[in-house]
Amino acid sequence: MLSFSTAFCGACGQTHYDISSEAEVKLWKDLEAANASADSRAVSAIIAILRDCSAAKDCHAKHTIHHAIRLEGERMKLEQETFDLKVEIKDLKKGNERLPNERFDGRMENRDLGGKKEMLVGEKEEASLPRKLVCQACCESSGTRNSLCDGRYPCTECMAQGYTCFYKKCFKTRSGVRCKSSTCTMWHGEEGYRHGEF
């Protein structure tokens, strides 16, 4: 009676005879001998074992093909991931090349903003400075009297000299535009002053 060990097949989920190549060759020879002796039981048993060996080979071939297909799919997936990484690295290099220019533009923009800020601060400081008014009589006189005008109404110099003290209205104020100059000595609409359209 023929007896061989069996092994579980992961491809089909069944068991197959675990026969070596030498044992399979010996089975074919035993099959010829059984046919010659007309031993039908031996012939049937050997044929069943040989058919199972053939089925095991088919399962192994299918398993190998499926494994190769799976490996090919994984290889293609790795190639796609590698390509995507190369594209990402290329984009990152381009971004790093643009960074110095963007930083330079940012520094220039900050420098411009700093200059504008200084100008605005300067204008604010200039507008906050106390403005000295000079009356028309002192303004038309010598520079000494001009500097002696204290900007009041009437000013001390006009009272001492007996002049008529009045202040000239700023031409910018006459045109409806507010004069922002801190050095302007004309009247800007302050209360308590005598002024004229000169």
Task: Give the range of the structural domain holding residue 164, as residue numbers without chain letter.
Answer: 136-196
108 plus 22 within the same structural domain: yes
93 plus 45 within the same structural domain: yes
Choose one of 128, 152, 182: the last residue of a domain.
128
How far is 11 from 185, CA to CA, in rounded Å? 106
Cα–Cα separations (whole angstroms), residue 107 to 18, 95, 119:
79, 18, 18
DSSP state of 130: P
Task: Kindly state the tokens that stand for 126.
Answer: 């200039």
From first to last of the 198 residues of the chain, give the pLDDT tens digit. Answer: 467 788 888 778 788 888 888 888 888 888 888 888 878 888 888 888 888 888 888 888 888 888 888 889 899 999 999 999 999 898 888 877 776 666 656 665 555 555 555 555 555 544 445 678 888 888 877 565 567 788 888 888 888 888 888 888 887 766 667 777 777 888 887 887 776 655
Query: Would you say how long the chain is, in residues?
Result: 198
114 plus 168 within the same structural domain: no
Residue type, 174: R
43 plus 82 within the same structural domain: yes
